[in-house]
Amino acid sequence: MRIDIITVVPDILKSPFEASIMKRSIEKGLVEVQFHNLRDYTDTNYKQVDDYQFGGGAGMVMMIEPIDKCISKLKLERDYDEVIYMTPDGETLNQGIANQLSLKGNLIILCGHYKGVDQRVRDHFITKEISVGDYVLSGGELGALILCDTIIRLIPGVLGNETSALTDSFQDNLLAPPIYTRPAEYKGWKVPEVLTSGNFPKIEIWREEQAYQRTKDRRPDLLDE
C-alpha cells in the first residue's frame, strides 16, 4: 500500500511514522508513506496556499490551484483508489471504514487547514470525506494520523499475530472482553479461573459472553446495529 498525505505542516506528521507499528510496517516494505508540502505547489512569492472567502466571513480558505497541481501530479505517477479529505463534516471513521481502506492499494489523504478547502476541491477531486469525531481540530493532520494507524495495522504482516486485529473492539460490533496476564493472583486479585483452565472452547464462550455484556453496558447502540 502507498499513502500520500498532502499538508501545509508536514513536520506534524513525521514522528509517528518513525516509531512502533507504523515504522515497522514501512521497514518491512508493507506500506509506503509520502508527505507533500502544499506550499511546494504554489507560485506566489510567500508560498501562499490560502485566501479570503468570497462573500466575506471569518477564516481563511485553502485555494484550489495548489491542491489541483499536487493531486494532478500524483495521479500522473500512479492510479489511486481513493482521494480522502479529512473534515469534521465527513463520514465518521469506524472499524468498517478502516477494514475497507486496508484492502486498497494507493490512497491520497488531503489534510484540511484554516477554515477548510475551496468547495470545488471537494466537488471535483475528493472521492471520500472522513471525520474522526464531532469536534474541530486545528488541521486535518492529526485525523490523518489516526486514519493511517487504523488502516496500516490491518495490513497482513504488520502485526506479529495477524489474528490480533480480528479480535479488536468493533470488528464484530462488540467491544473486546476483559484481558489478563501474569501473575494469576496479585494482592489477592485473581484472574478468572476459566482463563487458566486450559479449556479453550469454554474460554471462547466466556469471552463471547463478556464481550456481549460489556457492549450492552457501555455501548448498547452497537447491538442495535
pLDDT at residue 180, as a whole number? 96
Do the domains 169-224 and 2-152 match in fold?
no
- Maximal C-alpha separation, the chain: 71
Task: State the pTM of this model.
Answer: 0.89
Question: Coil, helix or strand for 147?
Answer: helix
pLDDT at residue 66, as a whole number? 97
Q: What is the mean pLDDT of each run of 10 residues along the chain (225 residues)?
A: 97 94 96 98 91 94 97 98 97 96 98 94 98 95 98 91 65 90 97 97 96 96 88
The answer to whether 218 touches 169, Cβ cutoff 8 Å, is no
Domain ranges for the chain: 2-152, 169-224
The answer to whether 116 touches 160, Cβ cutoff 8 Å, is no
pLDDT at residue 172, as a whole number? 82
Question: Coil, helix or strand for 73?
Answer: helix
CATH 1.20.120.420 is the classification of domain 169-224 = no
- Domain spanning 2-152: CATH superfamily: SPOUT methyltransferase, trefoil knot domain (3.40.1280.10)
- What's the gap between Cα 2 and its chain centre? 14
